[in-house]
Every structure is written in C-alpha cells, then in structure tokens.
Chain A
Amino acid sequence: MTDATFVHGHGDPYHLHGGRPQEGPASKRIVTGYGFWIFLLSDIVMFSCFFAAYAVLQGQTAGGPKGSELFDLKSVAAETAFLLLSSFTCGLAMIAADVRSLRWYQIGMAVTCLFGLGFLALEGREFADLVGRGAGPTRSAFLSAFFTLVGCHGMHVSAGILWLLTMMAQVFAKGFRADIMRRLLCFALFWHALDIIWVAIFSVVYLFGSAA
C-alpha cells in the first residue's frame, strides 16, 4: 500500500487522485452520479435566472397587489414542512435500499410521495386562490415572474413524483440491481436539490415579500 502510493505519487505530484492505491477508471456509479450532479447544477443555474428575473421585477406591480397582500405564510410554512419531511423520508428510503430492505424502501418512498403530493396540493390551492382573486400571472410583471419561478419549481416536483413512482415500480419489478441503484442515487439527488431550491424560494419570495 505504501509502495503503491509512493510510486503513484511520482506520476501525480499534486495527488489529484487522493493517493489511493488502486487506479483505473472510476466505477459506473461514480460517473453516473457525477454526471447527474452536473445536470442538477445546470438546473440550479436555470433557476437562478428565474430568481434574477423575479428580484428585478419584484416592485413592478403595475398598480396591482403586492406580495405582502397576497402571500399566506401559514400555507407556505406547511408547504415547507411537507417538502422538508419528504426530503428526510427520501433519505431514509435510500438507506433502506442500501441495506436491501424492500419493505422499508417502499414505505419510505410512499411516504415521500404523499408529502410531495401534499406540497403540490397546497401550492395548487394557493395558485387557484391567487387567480381567483384576480392576481393571476397576467396581472403584473411581478406576478408573471412569481408564477414562472414558483410554478417552475412545482413542475419539477411533479416530475419528481412521476420519477418516484417509476422507481417504486422498477424496484418492485426488478429488485435492487446495480443499474436500478444508480437511478435511485440520481433520484435522491434530484429530490434533495428540489428542497434546496425551495429554501431559496421561501426565503426570497415569500419571507422577503411579506416582510417588505
């Protein structure tokens, strides 16, 4: 081991590979996870554009209602709790998958799905309420930016729930195969990243909006 690292250190003066004894291409799991991580970062960059648009247009209400008159912080707190809990249960389901416990995996994913659906239901109710009060996306530039940003996140959650159900079915039908485990890794990353974006949304959009 020490010999190997020593020899290895010669060709790699900056120890870019962490001085690990084994060489060779990274496993498929590493490459897949890394690739999906890069996709997620590009997704976050896309969201940052919507955030920039929202921040710039926040004051352009065109005489319409401001955020502080529209937002219901109790509903937002419930949405936040649902999404945070679903992120947590998703992590528990991944642990169950790693120890190959089919029952706990399916239970964890089902609970995650329910919390995600609860989030979507609350958000749908909020949007319907806003449109019903004449504060739809066509009312002002502020509301256009608001619906684009929050709606885009909602679309991501919807897509995530479809992916979640697919993963439940795939594990049910095919078991914990290596390729299925790679997909699970990607799904968990996606779901946790959605929660990170929601943190930015509830801070920047709702709490800023109702405080200002």
Chain B
Amino acid sequence: MSDQHLHHPIDLAPGDEEEVRVGPRLVGYFTGFGLAVLLTATSFFVAGTHLVWQPSIPVALVVLAIAQMGVHLVFFIHITTDPDNTNNILALAFGLLIVFLVVGGSLWIMSNLNQNMPMPSMDQLMQMQR
C-alpha cells in the first residue's frame, strides 16, 4: 500500500520501530545482544557451578530465562508500553495466560496424581501379577 506509514509513528505493529534512523536502532540491537549474552552466560555459569546454594539453582535459572525473554521482547521484537502498542501487549498477555495455565496446570495436576497414586515399582508389579 503506502510507504508513508513507515515514517509515521502513529501505529506500531510488533517488530516495528518508531523511527527509521539507523543510529538509535543499532544501539538498541547492540544493547539487547549484550544483555542477552550476559544473561545466557550467567545461566550456564549458575547451572555448572558449586559456588551457589544448590536448591536455589532452579529458581535462578527460571528468573534468568524470564529476564532474557523480556530482553528479547523489548530489544528485538520491540514491544513497548506505548499507547499504540496496547493491542500487541493485550495479545501477549492473553498468550502468557494460556501458557501459564497449560504448563502450571499440567505440573500441578500431575504432581498431585503422583502423590496420591504412587506408581508401584517393577518388583511390586511383579508381585501383584502372581
């Protein structure tokens, strides 16, 4: 249709940026890349080290992963808090709701089942068959 919309910061699609100037956009991508590298390196370090309290490692990994996804969303996909970006954020929020329902719900239900109906071990199964 029209190229002029490219230069109008009126409405933003996800992935859009408000300006076509190269400098700030390069800075944005370099910032995002640097943060992502930092978070990834921290994740791999935390997973392999014995320097931190072991039970805290899963929580740390989850927090680092969520932080890195946030960095990707902001610096690479360009989700902002602009009023023009409301639609994209609402869709994202709904998607996240479904993701948490599916993953959290599955884990919750299955751990409940595991606790209330423990799987018999192989030996017990063999004895039951006799």
Which of B44, B57, B106 is A55 in contact with, Cβ under 8 Å?
Answer: B106
Docked CA distance A45–B64 (Å): 21
Judge whether A45 and B95 touch: CB under 8 Å.
yes
Q: Are A211 and B57 in contact (CB under 8 A)?
A: yes
Stretch at the interface among A124-132, A156-164, A165-173, A184-192: A184-192
- Which residue of A is nearest B109, CB measured? A56
* B20 partner residues in chain A, CB cutoff 8 A: 98-99
Contact (A56, B76) CB under 8 Å given A27-B1, A73-B48, A207-B43: no
Are A91 and B76 closer than 8 Å at their CB atoms?
yes
Q: Contacting A95 at CB < 8 Å: which of B22, B32, B58?
A: B22
Decide if A34 is an interface residue (CB 8 Å cutoff). Answer: yes
Assess the B77–A193 pair: CB atoms within 8 A.
yes
Please measure, in the bound complex, the distance between the C-alpha atom of A84 and the C-alpha atom of B68, giving whole angstroms: 11
CB distance from A35 to the nearest CB of B (A): 9
Q: Does A55 contact B14, Cβ atoms closer than 8 Å?
A: no
Q: For chain B, what secondary structure do more than half of its interface residues adopt (helix, strand, loop), or is it mixed?
A: helix
Q: Is A152 an interface residue (CB 8 A)?
A: no
Q: Is A77 an interface residue (CB 8 A)?
A: yes
Tell me, rounded to whole Å, the shortest Cβ–Cβ distance linking A93 to chain B: 11
Whether A29 pairs with B5 at a CB distance below 8 angstroms is: yes
Please give the number of chain B residues whose Cβ is less than 8 angstroms from any Cβ of chain A in the complex.
Answer: 57
**Chain B residues near A188 (CB, 8 Å)?**
15
Per the bound structure, the CA–CA distance linking A162 and B96 in Å amounts to 28
Interface centre among A49, A52, A77, A204 (most CB of B within 10 A): A52
> Within residues 137 to 189 of chain A, which ones have a CB less than 8 A from any CB in chain B?
178, 181, 185-186, 188-189
Residues of B within 8 A of A203 (CB): 43, 61-62, 64-65
Q: A56-B107, A195-B72 are in contact. Are A185 and B15 (CB under 8 A)?
A: yes
Asked if residues A84 and B1 are in contact (CB atoms below 8 Å), the reply is no
Structural contact, A41 and B94, CB atoms closer than 8 A: yes
Q: Are A95 and B25 in contact (CB under 8 A)?
A: yes
B83's partner among A18, A38, A81 (CB-CB below 8 A) is: A18
Residues of chain A touching chain B, judged by Cβ–Cβ distance below 8 Å, are 15-16, 18-20, 22, 26-30, 32-34, 36-38, 41-42, 44-45, 48-49, 51-53, 55-56, 73, 77, 80-81, 84, 87-88, 91-92, 94-95, 98-99, 178, 181, 185-186, 188-189, 192-193, 195-196, 199-200, 202-204, 207-208, 210-212
Binding site for A on B (CB under 8 A): 1-3, 5-6, 10-16, 20, 22, 25-26, 29, 32-33, 36-37, 40, 43-44, 46-48, 57-58, 61-62, 64-65, 68-69, 72-73, 76-77, 82-84, 86-88, 91-92, 94-95, 98-99, 102-103, 105-107, 110
